[in-house]
Amino acid sequence: MIHARTDAKRLADSLGFAIPDAVKIATVVSELARNIVAYAGKGTITLEVVAEPRVGIRISARDDGPGIADVAHILSGKYKSRTGMGLGIVGSKRLVDRFEIDSGPGRGTTIVAVKFMGNR
């Protein structure tokens, strides 16, 4: 987890992201990694550089865990997880420019988040 967010921070810094944005990217990686560890046990986080429409970083988090039964409920922000804050997914969504979640019971969870440079 620590490696994942250190890598994310380093990648963001090397691309020339502003410090707050780099911290946000690292935080999103941290949140998604925490979710994987907490709910699925293991999974993968992939970092990619995107060039279109602007330079950015795409974070893909994928696991084969139990999946999320009610994605809409989670995204509404009313959900309180057992880790307390219940902000992992909703908060991450607010930190990035694009956020897609594909999940369902028994088919794991895939989250793709993109943060572009120089926005927000």
Partner 1 sequence: MADSTKASQNPLEDVALLRTVLDAIPMRAFWKDRESRYLGCNTLFAHDAGLERPEQLVGKNDYDMPWKKEESDFFVSVDRRVMESGKAEYHILEPQLRADGTQTWVDTNKVPLRNAKGEVIGILGTYEDVTARKAEEEELRKNRDKLEELVRARTSELEVASNQLREEVKQRESSQAERDRLQQQIIEAQKRAIAELSTPIIPVMEGILVMPLVGSVDSMRAKEIMRSVLTGIGQHRAKVVILDITGVPLVDSGVAGHLNKTIQAARLKGARTIVSGISDAVAETIVDLGIDWTGIVTLSDLHTSLLAALDSVGFKLVREQR
φ, ψ (nearest 5 deg) of residue 59:
-105, 120
Nearer to partner 1, 107 or 119 (CB): 119
Alpha-carbon gap, residue 10 to 48, rounded angstroms: 13
Query: According to the binding rule CB under 8 A, does residue 24 interact with partner 1?
Result: yes
Query: According to the binding rule CB under 8 A, does residue 91 interact with partner 1?
Result: yes
Residue numbers 60-89 binding partner 1 by CB under 8 A = 77, 83-88
Is residue 114 within 8 A of residue 96, CB to CB? The reply is yes
Total residues contacting partner 1 (rule CB under 8 A)?
26
Nearer to partner 1, 52 or 82 (CB): 82
Which residues have a Cβ under 8 Å from the Cβ of 105 and sit 6 or more positions away? 66, 67, 68, 69
Sole binder of partner 1 in the list 34, 58, 71, 110 (CB under 8 A)? 34
Length of the chain: 120
Alpha-carbon gap, residue 93 to 3, rounded angstroms: 22
The contact set with partner 1 (CB under 8 A) reads: 1-2, 5, 9, 19-20, 22-24, 26-27, 30-31, 34, 77, 83-88, 90-92, 94-95
